[in-house]
Amino acid sequence: MQRLADFLAQGSERAARRASEALGNAVLSLGELPERGRPGVRQGWRELVIPFGAAAYVVQYRVEADSVFVARIFHSREAR
């Protein structure tokens, strides 16, 4: 998340704060609703799409027993 916030802060501190807050809230919500994301491309993984501006951020994560493991957070327009 810090990498994304640092990138946004180069253009707008306000956008960086808004994105950090949106991402933080979304990731924390996975503790309550871990199945809310869509099934991911890789079997056993899920993706939570967080709309932001004209695009979105994607959180790739896995649910195991009573834990959520976040593997990656990226911008939807970012080269993967």
pLDDT tens for each residue of 49-65:
999 888 899 999 999 98
- Enumerate the domain spans of the chain: 2-75
What's the pLDDT tens digit per position in 20-78? 899 999 999 999 999 999 999 999 999 999 998 888 999 999 999 889 999 999 888 77
pLDDT at 50: 94
Q: Residue 56: exposed, middle, or buried by beta-carbon count in 10 A (0-12, 13-18, 19+)?
A: middle
Q: What stretches of 1-80 adopt beta strand conformation (E)?
A: 38-39, 45-52, 55-64, 67-75
Q: Is the pTM of this model over 0.85?
A: no
Assign domain 2-75 to its CATH architecture. 2-Layer Sandwich (3.30)
- CA nearest neighbour of 57 among 41, 38, 72: 72
Q: Are 47 and 40 in contact (CB under 8 A)?
A: yes
